[in-house]
Structure 1
Amino acid sequence: MPIASSASGLVRKPIVLALAAVAVAVLSACDSHSAASPGLNPRQVTVLGSGQVQGVPDTLTADVGIESTAGDATSAMNQTNDRQQAVINALVGAGVDRKDTRTTQVTLQPQYSVPGPVGGASITGYRANNAIEVKIHPTDAASRLLGLIVTTGGDATRITSVHYSIADDSQLVKDARARAFEDAKNRAQQYAQLSGLNLGKVLSISEAAGATPAPGGPPEQAPRAAAVPLEPGQQTVAFSVTAVWELK
């Protein structure tokens, strides 16, 4: 019996030692995690930077339509198509690339009389409209070509809008983005100095882009063969960036 009791005591000791080792390991892991926490959430500063650059537009886009009214649908559509084709041919003859013109809308609608006291409205004719978008570059030819459109289309001409753009603004975008980041970095550097810390590495960057086109709207319909006064102005390419820097 004493021998059995001694053996039982020997078995219990390794078990107790093993449990103690596990407890120490768990506590060590907790301490290690607590010590690493500050590294996972460093002191940081979040700033918003902005930058913009301006460029001169090199392309004018005009929305041009031809509208005709006739007693029957076929006549209205034929008159509109013939006049619109004449406008397109005139533009191509003046140097506009045919790929820079595209049809944007074709409509044909009945026109009704005013309902009388007796009976409803009746169809009095048809109105057809054929609209195209024309890209003109360089822009110094825009006034002359818009005048040509009006001369060719006559009273059936409709110019609904014009707007300027920059065909390739990739360099402007790069410059605006660089200015936005530099602005954000300067702000972050100032905050770091004010707080008595140094600026560390960038933790995250997000951006938002926006372009402010030069003002433009539908010009008044010009007299026959007259040039339309146009000013391209400047187009602004703007970026804003939100950046997070580590403070150390």
Structure 2
Amino acid sequence: MIRYAIPAFAFAAALPMTAQAAEIQIAATGPVVELNVLEEVDAAPDMVTVSAGVSSEAPNAVEALRQNSRAMRAVIDRIKSLGVAERDIQTSSINLNARYDYDQQRQEQIFRGYRASNRVTVKLREIDETGEVLDALVVAGATDLNGPVFGLENDERAKVAARRAALQRAEAQAREYASLAGYSNVRLLEISESVQGRSGPQPIVVTGSRLKAMDESAPVEPGTISTGVSISVKYEMTR
């Protein structure tokens, strides 16, 4: 939470500077109205995140991991060949597990070997190429995909617009309350802010047989995503 305190300039000059700033309390002589305002703005995404995974099975752990590493190397090499920078490719998980089947007649677990899996998360800065990249990952050997998740590389400009709109709306509401209560004006006492999460299209999971059915580039529509701020403000009603 980011907290803004409105400075009391008449007293600030007389106070000595300290290593740790003290919270400033502003006295109010009139009634105080406290409001919570959420403001969101829509913006076109400028990046998209997808993840690609490969799974391999073998009778022993060493061979399962070796096969899986070979398959993932092919996927990563394909990602890099599409112009994706190394800093935008990140391994998100590596798993190695024993496989068992349950024998109903014998009522016991039967060991079947090992399954290794590896997943990378890829950040794409050219949204128009998302469908082509997804297809290329499948051709390179990815056995499951997750995404796309759209986002903003830097949403500060959108948040600035949200702050301005939120404060304007808060002041208008405070003035309305003041008028209803018989006061003519308001004085801002305090602002505190909470940053809201981004919302957008939900991730699309593509696995198994659905991958094999892709005859052309997957259609991808980025739409818009929302980002914003939530502010709590206190106003004193004045005559």
TM-score over 0.5 (shorter chain): yes
Report the counterpart of residue 226 of structure 2 in structure 1: 236
User: Which entry has the higher C-alpha Rg, 1 or 2?
Assistant: 1
Inter-CA distance 118–44: structure 2 relative to 1 (3 Å threshold) = closer
Identify the match of residue 101 of structure 1 among 67, 89, 99. 89
| Alignment partners' CA distance in 1, 2:57 and 2:39 | 51
For 1:138-153, list aligned pairs within 5 A: 138-153=126-141
Q: What residue identity is the alignment partner of 1:199?
A: N
| Alignment partners' CA distance in 1, 2:100 and 2:64 | 15
| Alignment partners' CA distance in 2, 1:222 and 1:119 | 35
Report the counterpart of residue 15 of structure 2 in structure 1: none
Report the counterpart of residue 198 of structure 1 in structure 2: 184
Report the counterpart of residue 209 of structure 1 in structure 2: 195
> SS at the partner of 2:196?
strand
The answer on whether the counterparts of 2:151 and 2:198 sit within 8 Å (CA) in structure 1 is no
Structure whose residues are more often strand by fraction: 2
**How many residues were matched structurally?**
208
Write the deviation string for residues 8-37 of structure 1: whole angstroms up to 9, x where unpaired: xxxxxxxxxxxxxxxxxxxxxxxxxxxxxx
The answer on whether the counterparts of 2:178 and 2:186 sit within 8 Å (CA) in structure 1 is no
> SS at the partner of 1:227?
coil
| Alignment partners' CA distance in 1, 2:105 and 2:132 | 51
Structure 1 residue 204: Cα displacement:
1.5
Report the counterpart of residue 49 of structure 1 in structure 2: 37
Structure 1 residue 41: Cα displacement:
4.3
Identity %, equivalent residues: 26
Report the counterpart of residue 127 of structure 1 in structure 2: 115
For 1:156-235, list aligned pairs within 5 A: 157-220=143-206, 221-223=210-212, 226-235=216-225
Q: What residue identity is the alignment partner of 1:232?
A: P
> SS at the partner of 2:168?
helix
Q: What residue identity is the alignment partner of 1:195?
A: A
> SS at the partner of 1:246?
strand
Residues 186-195 or 219-228, more deviating: 219-228
Q: Which runs of 4+ in 1 moved over 4 A?
A: none
The answer on whether the counterparts of 2:175 and 2:186 sit within 8 Å (CA) in structure 1 is no
| Alignment partners' CA distance in 2, 1:144 and 1:119 | 48
List runs of 5+ in structure 2 lacking aligned partners.
1-26
> SS at the partner of 2:64?
helix
Inter-CA distance 225–41: structure 2 relative to 1 (3 Å threshold) = same
**TM-score, with structure 2 as normaliser:** 0.80
Q: What residue identity is the alignment partner of 2:137?
A: I
**TM-score, with structure 1 as normaliser:** 0.77
Whether 1:113 aligns to 2:98 is no
List runs of 5+ in structure 1 lacking aligned partners.
1-38
